[in-house]
Amino acid sequence: MIAVAIDGPSGAGKSTIARRAAQALGYIYVDTGALYRAIAYQMLRGGVDLDDSAAVADGLAGMRIELKFIDGEQRVFANGADVSDLIRTPEVSMGASRVSAVRAVRDFLFELQRSLARENNVVMDGRDIGTVVLPDAQVKIFLTADDTVRAKRRFDELTAKGADVTYEEVLADVRQRDYNDTHRETAPLRRAEDAVLANTTDCSFEESVHLVLTIIRERV
């Protein structure tokens, strides 16, 4: 099996770029952020205090998180319900950043991610795929862009969906999540030594896809 690990900060375009690369290669695309989001969503609904790591760890008891691929598209299920469309709010984004700092949450999702890569050729994106989840991936890419550019892209995405947010709010959110993701104790976001750095600050979407596909094709 072939695994392509794509890590990087939020808003770098990982998911759209990774999805397109997976399509071009005929691999499945695994968005691991959706797993953390599904857990955050479920816990927010259950009134769990996400800053209380013991409560978060307890909240995992009996929780069932699954990924299914319907017409090649990933859908995420929490306790049997498809929550894919409910996990894209700013509240869940920030919640996912919080729960992902809890070791029990990362351990809980580890085997699910590993098993997907054991059974399929995958392009998997996240924060710790090249460093922790798939350290033997044939290709590792660290995809990034300046935070102002990432915030602008996320802002455009959110407002296109009708969300009521300002650019300043989105930028503050991006910076807060960068800080959380790089400073947590468990599996912090960092570039694996053997990851190729892809900076898309000055790239259009198509150029970013081309860059990533070129890096992959040179290696597999």
Task: Choose among 143, 125, 130: nearest CA to 198.
Answer: 143
CA–CA dist 170, 188 (Å, integer): 22
Q: Which residues, 128 to 147, sit near ligand DC by CB under 6 A?
A: 128-129
Q: Nearer to ligand DC by C-beta: 33 or 196?
A: 33
With binding defined as CB under 6 A, does residue 19 bind ligand DC?
A: no
Could you give the CA distance from residue 146 to residue 166 in angstroms, rounded to a whole number? 18
127 binds ligand DC (CB under 6 A): yes
Interface with ligand DC by CB under 6 A: which range of 17-25, 70-78, 92-100, 157-165? Answer: 92-100
**Residue 32 within binding range of ligand DC, rule CB under 6 A:** yes
C-alpha–C-alpha distance, residues 149 and 171, integer Å? 9
d(CA 116, CA 47): 30
Instruction: Give, as ranges, the residues between 173 and 202 that touch ligand DC (CB under 6 A).
Output: 177, 181
- Nearest-angstrom CA–CA distance, 205 and 85: 23
**Which single residue is written with the structure tokens 């860059």?**
211
Least separation, in Å, of the C-beta of 201 and ligand DC? 18
State the DSSP H helix or E strand holding residue 3, giving kind and residue range, or none if neither.
strand 3-7
Q: Kindly state whether residue 95 participates in binding ligand DC, applying the rule CB under 6 A.
A: no
* Minimal distance, residue 218 CB to ligand DC, in Å: 24
The stretch among 47-55, 65-73, 76-84, 96-104 that binds ligand DC (CB under 6 A) is 96-104
Q: Which stretch binds ligand DC (CB under 6 A): 55-63, 93-101, 167-175, 190-198?
A: 93-101
d(CA 28, CA 57): 30
State both tokens at 56: 């978060």
Structure tokens at 77: 């299920």
CB of 1 to ligand DC, least distance (A): 19
Can you give the binding site for ligand DC, defined by CB under 6 A?
Answer: 10, 32-33, 36-37, 93, 96-97, 100, 126-129, 177, 181
